[in-house]
């Protein structure tokens, strides 16, 4: 699981891309609509476009990433690829032993 804090960003201003094992999250924090008679005195959130990149391990299944955005937190759930999961190998029996005479 990967989580990004994106307070003040609307869901439609978030872009998520995966190319090979590079995950890129781009977002844009837009100015808050305000009335004409209101002036912003202090804002601790920078406005504009920003992005983050994360290198993903080869063992992750980038085809099945699930993204959820709630309360300013973007959560990406990336499952482990089937080929990377531990598996048990069955041991087969040997063929019958034969003697060679001659």
Given a cut of 90, is residue 47 above it in pLDDT? no
Using an 8 Å Cβ cutoff, are 42 and 5 in contact? no
HEC-encoded secondary structure of 40-57: CCCCCCCCEEEEEEEECC
pLDDT averaged over the chain? 87
Domain ranges of the chain: 2-32+42-84
pLDDT at residue number 97: 62
User: 2-32+42-84: which CATH architecture?
Assistant: Sandwich (2.60)
Q: Which residue has the higher pLDDT, 39 or 16?
A: 16
CA–CA gap between residue 2 and residue 78 (Å, rounded): 8
Q: Is the pTM of this model over 0.95?
A: no
**Phi/psi of residue 94, nearest 5 degrees:** -75, 160
pLDDT of residue 102: 61
pLDDT value, residue 99: 67
CA dist., res. 75 & res. 67, Å (int): 6
**pLDDT confidence of 96, banded at 50, 70, 90?**
low
Q: What pLDDT band is residue 81 in, cutting at 50, 70 and 90?
A: confident
Query: What would the mean pLDDT of 48-77 be, rounded to a whole number?
Result: 94
Q: Would the pLDDT of 84 be above 90?
A: no
- Own/partner pairs for 34-40, CB < 8 Å, 24+ apart? none
């Amino acid at each position: 699981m990967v989580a990004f804090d994106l307070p003040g960003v609307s869901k439609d201003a978030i872009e998520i891309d995966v190319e090979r094992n590079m995950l890129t999250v781009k977002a844009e924090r837009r100015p808050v609509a305000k009335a004409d008679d209101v002036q912003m005195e202090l804002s601790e959130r920078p406005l504009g476009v920003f992005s983050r990149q994360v290198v993903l391990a080869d063992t992750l299944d980038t085809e099945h990433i699930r993204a959820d955005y709630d309360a300013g937190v973007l959560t990406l759930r990336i499952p482990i690829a089937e080929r990377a999961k531990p598996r048990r190998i069955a041991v087969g029996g040997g063929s019958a032993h034969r003697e060679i005479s001659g």
